[in-house]
Structure 1
Amino acid sequence: MTNVFKDVAVPPNWDQLADGVLSGTWLTRKEAREILDADELQLLPLLQATFRIRRHYFGRKVKLNMLLNAKSGLCPEDCGYCSQSIVSNAPIPKYALLDRETLLAGAREAYARGAGTFCIVASGRGPSRSETTRIADIVREITTELPLKVCACLGQLTADQASQLQDAGVKRYNHNLNTSSAYHDQVVTTHSYEERLNTLNKVKQAGMSPCSGIIIGMGESLEDRIEMAYALRELDADSIPVNFLHPIPGTPMEGLSPVRPMDGLRMLALLRFVCPDKEIRVAGGRELTLRSLQPLALYAANSIFLGDYLTTSGQEWKKDHEMLEDLGFEVERITPEVSEEWETTLRTIPE
């Protein structure tokens, strides 16, 4: 009798891999590749094992974040994915650093929506001295008034700027690796991969929590994605935002196709196996990439952004709360309140 199953590959035992991670064994690169190669029939068993790791470290809790694009466009960098870069023709708002009242209103809205972290993001290679001082001053106001963690994402920093922000109350600083070291020059040429690492080292030396993540879907290989995961583990980033390329018309990467939902979920699973105790945040492009499978992302990730991103729209934030409630997950902070003031404030931001 012919064995009809003789050529069928035996899938990895995902639970055994999870047991190893939970006992302190590092995932091998061969095992990492098996996760990214898992077929569709293995996705749910993979996510079930991934959730065991996530639940061990974070239970059923989800951290909520909201960001504000505090300075838009006007950037000299040539990042191929970014609508704010010097090589982009995307029709986006362009404005200098927002005033104190608008930044404070943004923080209040983040708190009202239930976020525990408010992210102040500014385009550009790095902040000027005056911009650093202005942001430090508003961070002091925000943290005095609201029980929020403030994360800043302002580009490259000097050691003095990093210390100034930390002294003001910035708890976390974001500076994404974005891609692998080998693929970096295919994404941007106006700064190096090593410069990004240098900024993150200054952040850690100043006493701020390092936040660094990736963008998948920029043409990188699966091996590049594996390298990203291991680089983030070596960096010891406390928070890892996972972005999915949103091919924005007018940018050099406008012609790329969005990542398939299954591939996005496999990458999130890989990061949980490689960086088991870190905050993994599903970030920009999740609505476009994951679509109806967004809830499954929370079986690997333990953090999401509410509302819009830098120059692209996100899911309506109340739907995110509904999604978490339907999943039976617990928001770490408060029950949000509806705020009409924020919509009024948005209309005052110059185009």
Structure 2
Amino acid sequence: MRNREALRHDWTKEELLAIYNKPILELVYEAASVHRIWHKADEIQLSTLLSVKTGGCPEDCSYCGQAARYHTDINVQALLPTETVLAHAKKAKENGSSRFCMAAAWREVRDNRDFDRIIDMVKGVNELGLEVCCTLGMLTEHQAKRLQEAGLYAYNHNMDTSAEYYEQIISTRQFDNRLNTIHNVRKAGITVCSGGIIGLGESTTDRISMLLTLANMDIHPESVPINALARVKGTPLENNPKVGIWEMVRMIATTRIAMPGSMVRLSAGRLEMTETEQAWCFLAGANSIFTSDRETLLVTPNPCITKDIQMLQNLGLKPMKK
């Protein structure tokens, strides 16, 4: 079964809704069964995400504390020196991470000296033997090719939400802009990391519509992050209610069933989850987390590597090797 021919790319919204709304224990059992066919159930990939350029973004993403127009406590930080980034990457590898992602709060990549420095960072992290990932905003085909030639393994560009709900969350770009960047990444031969956020005020149908976009791509994203909204004070969504654990479990399980070969990444929102709640997410098919010794995920709080390693040991799980 573990072959591309077994993957579906013709899901309907009704099918995915029916999966999402199954009785929770039946849903988790099905997702766990699929997960065990395609992946080693006792392995979790540890990934580290570093903000290499923080704040001052011209976009108006309603959930993001790095948008310049919102009054948050985020400290604006220029692009880090390459040596600093590589030191963080080395530390991440020592802590057990096999994937290192660099994020810059840009609307789009520009062909300038900063992008040249990103290229150097990619080369350096790649030489450390880590999967190297970037999330830099919108990307042209030429820029994607430069990153691929430097050794970039993955590019993150989340859908965030459904095409129908998108304009309620972001007005400074269009949903199709995201699809175009993913097309450029795929054409350059870089693997795709793309998922979404729940808790933005969207409906269940919006969540399924977002998954439908990903699951019906010609090639499924190799990585699908599922984020619970990290409520940042000063953003329009700061008072949204906390995402319930069963909502996360349903979303992860549906993602695992629809895209069985993909890495499903339990991403933002983990700090508000108990160890037991995270265990349910792993059982439902999540097989990656973001961790570090800095206790942050970009600019929001996140569990530290020490607690995460202890959690894996408690659950009988182990870090995935590259």
Q: Specify if TM > 0.5.
A: yes
2:287 to 295, 299, 302: 302
Match of 1:285 in 2: 269
Give me the CA root mean square deviation: 2.0
**One-letter identity of the residue aligned with 2:118:** I
SS at match of 1:263: helix
Match of 1:46 in 2: 27
**One-letter identity of the residue aligned with 1:124:** W
Match of 1:15 in 2: none
CA deviations 1:305-339 (Å, max 9, x no partner) are 113201111112122122222222232128xxxxx
1:209 to 188, 191, 197: 191
Does structure 1 residue 191 correspond to structure 2 residue 179?
no
Task: Answer yes or no: is the 8 Å Cα contact 1:75–1:123 preserved in 2.
Answer: yes
Identity among equivalent pairs (%) = 36
**One-letter identity of the residue aligned with 2:309:** H
SS at match of 1:127: coil
1:148 to 122, 130, 148: 130
**Against the structure 1 CA distance between its residues 23 and 210, is the aligned structure 2 distance closer, same or farther, given a 3 Å change threshold?**
closer
1:107 to 80, 84, 89: 89
Does structure 1 residue 135 correspond to structure 2 residue 123?
no
Does structure 1 residue 219 correspond to structure 2 residue 204?
no
Does structure 1 residue 244 correspond to structure 2 residue 228?
yes
User: 159-168 vs 288-297, which deviates more?
Assistant: 288-297
Q: CA–CA distance in 2 between the matches of 1:53 and 1:287?
A: 27
2:239 to 239, 248, 255: 255
**Against the structure 1 CA distance between its residues 204 and 24, is the aligned structure 2 distance closer, same or farther, given a 3 Å change threshold?**
closer
Task: Answer yes or no: is the 8 Å Cα contact 2:264–2:286 preserved in 1.
Answer: yes
1:325 to 313, 317, 321: 313
**One-letter identity of the residue aligned with 2:286:** A
Task: Answer yes or no: is the 8 Å Cα contact 1:279–1:302 preserved in 2.
Answer: yes
**One-letter identity of the residue aligned with 2:227:** N
Shift of 1:32: 2.5
**Against the structure 1 CA distance between its residues 24 and 243, is the aligned structure 2 distance closer, same or farther, given a 3 Å change threshold?**
closer
Q: CA–CA distance in 2 between the matches of 1:89 and 1:314?
A: 21
Task: Answer yes or no: is the 8 Å Cα contact 2:8–2:216 preserved in 1.
Answer: no
Q: CA–CA distance in 1 between the matches of 2:272 and 2:186?
A: 33
Q: CA–CA distance in 2 between the matches of 1:306 and 1:267?
A: 21
Structure 1 unaligned blocks of 5 or more: 1-20, 335-351
2:256 to 265, 269, 272: 272
Match of 2:17 in 1: 33
Match of 1:3 in 2: none
**Against the structure 1 CA distance between its residues 24 and 133, is the aligned structure 2 distance closer, same or farther, given a 3 Å change threshold?**
closer
Q: CA–CA distance in 1 between the matches of 2:7 and 2:151?
A: 36
Match of 2:145 in 1: 163
Match of 2:299 in 1: 311
Task: Answer yes or no: is the 8 Å Cα contact 2:11–2:216 preserved in 1.
Answer: no
SS at match of 1:170: coil
**Against the structure 1 CA distance between its residues 319 and 239, is the aligned structure 2 distance closer, same or farther, given a 3 Å change threshold?**
same
Q: CA–CA distance in 1 between the matches of 2:99 and 2:9?
A: 31
- Which structure has the larger Rg? 1
User: 190-199 vs 311-320, which deviates more?
Assistant: 311-320
Q: CA–CA distance in 2 between the matches of 1:164 and 1:315?
A: 34
Q: CA–CA distance in 2 between the matches of 1:24 and 1:137?
A: 38
Task: Answer yes or no: is the 8 Å Cα contact 1:162–1:202 preserved in 2.
Answer: yes
Shift of 1:191: 0.5
**Against the structure 1 CA distance between its residues 332 and 183, is the aligned structure 2 distance closer, same or farther, given a 3 Å change threshold?**
same
Q: CA–CA distance in 2 between the matches of 1:221 and 1:115?
A: 34
Q: CA–CA distance in 1 between the matches of 2:73 and 2:141?
A: 35
